[in-house]
Amino acid sequence: MMNLRMIATKGTLFAGALFLASTALTGLVDAKSLTVGLTSDAVNLDPQAGEELSSNILFYHIYDPLVRRNADLSFGPGLAESWELADDTTWVFKLRKGVKFHNGEEFKASDVVFTLDRLKKSLMANLGANISSFKAIDDYTVEIKTPRPYAVLPNDLAAVLILNEKYVKEAGDETADLKPIGTGPYKLVEWVKEDHIALESNKDYYAGPAKLDTVTFRPITNGATRTAALLTGEVDVVQDLNVRDVDRVKADGRYKVLAQPSLLNVVLSIDQREKSPTVDLDKNPMVDHRVREAMVRAIDVGAINKVIMNGLSTPSEQYVPASHTGYLDGASFRDMYPFDVEKATALMAEAGYADGFTVTLDATNNRYVNDQQIVQALASMLGKIKINLKLNLMPKSNFFGYIRVPSDKSSLIMSGWDVPSGDGGSMYSVMFYTRDKKEGYGQVNRGSYSNPEVDALIDKADATAKLDQRDKFLQDVTKILMADIPMIPIHYEQDLYAAKTSVDITPRADKFLWAYDIDVKE
Amino acid sequence: MLGYTIKRLLQMVLVLSVVSVIVFLMMSFTGDPVFMVIPIDSTAAEIEQARRLLGLDQSLFSQYWIFLSNLLQGDFGRSYVFRQPAIDLILERLPATMEMVLVAMGIATIIAIPLGVYAGANPNRAASRGIMAASLFGISLPGFWVGMMLIFFFSVRYQFLPSSGRGETIEVLGLRLSIFTADGWSHMILPAVTLALATLAIILRITRAGMMEVMRQDYIKFARAKGASRRHILFAHGLKNALIPVITIFGLQLGDLIAFATITETIFAWPGTGKLLIDSIYRGDRPVIVVYLMLTAFIFVAINFLVDIAYTLIDPRITVK
């Protein structure tokens, strides 16, 4: 007995010692790390070299913008502490002092000027389209002028990431593309193409160091492999969880699934010209409002949501989401034109098209979630009111060149549109403003929609520097558009994520996974 | 031999220039790459600026001419998307692909040849029939399905091997390789086996067919009558003479796997060249596609050359001229 007890005591002591040793060890390696499975590798770590989601996600870890876009699409200070309108077209940005780039250089107004200057000459010149001139007043003040009053300049600047002038000039573009230097919360440690990108926390980050010490992004293109990597513990979070894996992951208590309605509105543009290239009649019947209304009523968005999207979509009420300028409270396409095939058939007959017509719909087969199935459903739904849809499907690499304005080959186009800046006006001005009337307006007006009233309201919205006034004008545009139906909104996709339950993560509205907001519980 | 080599080199140059012309022409029919790299609501002026930056404002003929003259100076062009030299992007990823392909070819050969010899020498045994039936699976099962099944069983179900990535690598002679680490091997096995299956089945069947034909020949009977050991008859007399078609197929398969291991690489998130090709096609990244396909053509021509040399070593009756 005695012996046994002694052994037991010794055992306890030993176990206790082991326990102490292990806590001491965990105390030493307290570093928190996270591995994220992304759908693709970043192509480039220069924020002015192109636009792609994975690259964008990485940019915001390494660089900072002047104005920060928050997870809910509100805007707040970034590298600029505050900003104000000096006059209708002049903005003054006060910069944060004492911010350091990863190479130790201090952040100054000259870096902002350098960044904007380089931006204007880059592939991303579009981001600076509403900036006419800019200059440094002193080391911590920048003045930016817009060609016209432009209330949403700060929104636009959230997409402009600040580079270090000295570094980019000395290292050259090619090196800067691969070994970025920014002021962001994370520094690049290693980038092995297509394998992983390792980041470590920038302890000197102006808003305080991130909770996670290291973050590794791994590109895993195949959706099933991404799920497998999560289930085997190789990654902690995955982006774009496969729809068919949702139940499987949810059923396992070690993981959670997170869904966030995306900003991407899948829409159907309708040609508004008197003669349309693919319609089999002499006159374009879709010019008639009754025909467009019949089309909306014949499309059962609820069925698309249930049958094709597995419930993982949000039928869109308007052209822009509720968080955006121009959104009209309470107005909904679904209430204005509820699904009603009988009414739709009657409207077609009233318009004189009881026998229907044939028209081609251009769409992608690899860009939007289930795009091919959606257009097939549209064909069968519109077929019921005798609009015979011919489907012209193509991969996205051909599509965006094919539908570009003014190529004029299309009568109906299904595409998606998102406005991460939160400003509905930027969409309205390029999509609904009369074509070829004003530089920078109407360049993606794929249905050749033209309404002088809409043009005038957009002009007014773009002439005021006051955000609430702009919002008011744009809401009036929304009202007219919803009555006119130049385009049928279908749904917003949903962004899906899965994570270990220990990961404290909230998806952002703009799909940018930002590790600075993420924590890991013990 | 020297004359033959020179002749082959000239052939190679011819093949490569034809490939480059065809690829360049094909490119002009696919989408406009500008729209893949710039924001969709860019104005006409911004699109023009992007076109100028990418060199797409020139006519197709002058684009080709610029490409050719740069090529002669060793410049293979720059990726629109990555903005890096296209050849660097490919060479950077090539070791990962080569490693996986060579391991896969090794697995396939080591298993296929003995089994093929056995099945060819004893075509009527039950075991031979079993081998042949199994090889049918190897040929007909699609690679992506096999890959997913392997991941499901070995990674998710039994948590025995990792599902994706390349694992730990070390630098050997400036190349990042994973075959020298245990972690690297654990990442390598599943993709290599997936890739090996079809090749294994094909080599097995070719070896068997060759062996069956050779075993009927008089010299085999003669060797048997002479009292040579069975092992000697099978491998020295039989296999050696059945090997020519096997080597041909081996070469073709090797080229094929190096150039188009795309599906396996995608499933296992293996950072090789195949994924680069697919991504570049999606993005309309012409410079990368052109250089990639030219490199592929080069690899095929080079492998065929080596295969022809191998013929002469195995069968002295064959000479190269």
What span, in angstroms and rounded, lies between the C-alpha atoms of A140 and A144?
13
DSSP3 helix / strand / coil % (chain B, rounded to 5): 75, 0, 20
Residue-level pLDDT at A101: 95
Q: Find the residue in A nearest to B89 (Cα).
A: A193
Residue A421, pLDDT > 90, answer: no
Partner residue opposite A397 with nearest CB, options B266, B267, B283: B283
- In A129-234, which ranges are continuous DSSP H helix? 153-157, 165-171, 173-178, 223-231
Report the first-to-last Cα separation within chain A, whole angstroms. 40
Residue-level pLDDT at B31: 65
Contacts of A400 in chain B (CB under 8 A): 31-32, 35-36, 40
What span, in angstroms and rounded, lies between the C-alpha atoms of A383 and A359?
11
**Are the beta carbons of A234 and B162 separated by less than 8 Å?**
yes
Of the spans A24-28, B232-236, B254-258, which averages the highest pLDDT? B254-258
Q: Find the residue in A nearest to B151 (Cα).
A: A228
| Prediction pTM value | 0.84
What span, in angstroms and rounded, lies between the C-alpha atoms of A219 and A195?
6
Residue-level pLDDT at B46: 81
The pair of structure tokens assigned to A45 is: 């770590």
- Other beta carbons less than 10 A from residue A508's beta carbon: 20
ipTM above 0.85, yes or no: no
Contacts of A443 in chain B (CB under 8 A): 41-44
What span, in angstroms and rounded, lies between the C-alpha atoms of A8 and A18?
15
What span, in angstroms and rounded, lies between the C-alpha atoms of A107 and A95?
9
What span, in angstroms and rounded, lies between the C-alpha atoms of B253 and A491?
46
| Banded pLDDT at A293 (limits 50, 70, 90) | very high
**Are the beta carbons of A195 and B165 separated by less than 8 Å?**
yes
**Are the beta carbons of A397 and B151 separated by less than 8 Å?**
no
Range scoring the smallest mean pLDDT among A371-380, A395-404, B250-259: A395-404
For chain A, give the mean pLDDT.
Answer: 90
Contacts of A35 in chain B (CB under 8 A): none
For chain B, give the mean pLDDT.
Answer: 85
φ, ψ for residue B236 (rounded to 5)?
A: -80, -45
Mean pLDDT, rounded, for B32-60 = 78
**Are the beta carbons of A224 and B148 separated by less than 8 Å?**
yes
Residue A89, pLDDT > 60, answer: yes
Spell out the residues 6+ positions from residue B129 whose beta carbon is closer than 8 angstroms to its own: none
| Banded pLDDT at A505 (limits 50, 70, 90) | very high
| Banded pLDDT at A4 (limits 50, 70, 90) | very low
Residue A140, pLDDT > 50, answer: yes
Partner residue opposite A173 with nearest CB, options B43, B44, B83: B83
Mean pLDDT, rounded, for B52-66 = 81
**Are the beta carbons of B163 and A40 separated by less than 8 Å?**
no
Q: Find the residue in A nearest to B93 (Cα).
A: A193
CA distances from A78 to A7, A261, B96, B108, B296 (A): 62, 25, 40, 57, 48
Contacts of B83 in chain A (CB under 8 A): 44, 46, 49, 173-174, 177
Higher pLDDT pick, B46 / A392: A392
A447-450, Cβ contacts within 8 angstroms, sequence gap of 24 or more: A447/A269, A447/A270, A447/A271, A447/A272, A447/A413, A447/A486, A447/A487, A448/A271, A448/A272, A448/A273, A449/A272, A449/A484, A449/A486, A449/A487, A450/A272
Among candidates A173, A120, A185, A130, which has minimal Cα distance to A155? A130
Mean pLDDT, rounded, for A427-452 = 91
Percent of chain A whose pLDDT exceeds 90: 72
Residue-level pLDDT at B81: 83
pLDDT digits (tens, 9 = 90+) for A311-355: 889 999 999 999 899 999 999 999 999 999 999 999 999 999 999
Q: What stretch of H or E contains B283?
A: helix B273-283
What span, in angstroms and rounded, lies between the C-alpha atoms of A371 and A415?
9
| Banded pLDDT at A24 (limits 50, 70, 90) | very low
Mean pLDDT, rounded, for A346-366 = 94
| Banded pLDDT at A210 (limits 50, 70, 90) | very high
Among candidates B168, B169, B185, which has minimal Cα distance to B177? B169
Partner residue opposite A123 with nearest CB, options B38, B176, B284: B38
Percent of chain A whose pLDDT exceeds 70: 94
CB-side neighbour CA atoms (13 Å) of B38: 29
CA dihedral sign, ordered B211, B216, B218, B221: positive
Partner residue opposite B46 with nearest CB, options A126, A219, A229: A126
- Other beta carbons less than 10 A from residue B316's beta carbon: 8
What span, in angstroms and rounded, lies between the C-alpha atoms of B180 and B276?
24
Residue-level pLDDT at B235: 79
Partner residue opposite B31 with nearest CB, options A44, A178, A398: A398
Report the first-to-last Cα separation within chain B, whole angstroms. 7
> Parallel, antiparallel, or unpaired for β A186-192 and A196-201?
antiparallel
pLDDT digits (tens, 9 = 90+) for B290-320: 888 888 888 888 888 888 888 888 877 777 6
**Are the beta carbons of A397 and B30 separated by less than 8 Å?**
yes
Percent of chain B whose pLDDT exceeds 70: 98
Residue-level pLDDT at A7: 41
Residue B175, pLDDT > 90, answer: no
The angle formed by the CA atoms of residues A400, A309 and A475, to the nearest 5 degrees, is 65
Among candidates A448, A451, A481, A452, which has minimal Cα distance to A275? A448
Contacts of A397 in chain B (CB under 8 A): 30-31, 33, 36, 281-284
φ, ψ for residue B187 (rounded to 5)?
A: -80, -25
Residue-level pLDDT at B103: 94
Residue-level pLDDT at A16: 44
What span, in angstroms and rounded, lies between the C-alpha atoms of B277 and B269?
14
Among candidates A449, A481, A474, A443, which has minimal Cα distance to A459? A474
Among candidates B110, B42, B190, which has minimal Cα distance to A228? B190
Higher pLDDT pick, A126 / A19: A126
The angle formed by the CA atoms of residues A357, A363 and A368, to the nearest 5 degrees, is 140
Residue B59, pLDDT > 70, answer: yes
DSSP A390: E
**Are the beta carbons of B50 and A440 separated by less than 8 Å?**
no
Q: How far is B17 from chain A (nearest CA, A)?
A: 26
Q: How far is A468 from chain B (nearest CA, A)?
A: 25
CA distances from A383 to A355, A377, A414, A447, B257 (A): 11, 10, 17, 21, 46
| Banded pLDDT at A30 (limits 50, 70, 90) | low
Residue keyed to tokens 């492999």: A225
| Banded pLDDT at A1 (limits 50, 70, 90) | very low
Higher pLDDT pick, B23 / A338: A338
Higher pLDDT pick, A229 / A310: A229
Mean pLDDT, rounded, for A184-209 = 94
How far from chain centre, in Å, is Cα A233?
28
Cis peptide before A180 (omega within 30 of 0): no
Percent of chain B whose pLDDT exceeds 90: 19
Mean pLDDT, rounded, for A433-453 = 91
The angle formed by the CA atoms of residues B80, B83 and B86, to the nearest 5 degrees, is 80
Residue-level pLDDT at A23: 43
| Banded pLDDT at A212 (limits 50, 70, 90) | very high
Q: How far is A168 from chain B (nearest CA, A)?
A: 15
Contacts of A122 in chain B (CB under 8 A): 53
pLDDT digits (tens, 9 = 90+) for B2-14: 788 888 888 888 8
Partner residue opposite A232 with nearest CB, options B93, B163, B275: B163
Residue A108, pLDDT > 60, answer: yes
What span, in angstroms and rounded, lies between the C-alpha atoms of A94 and A103?
23
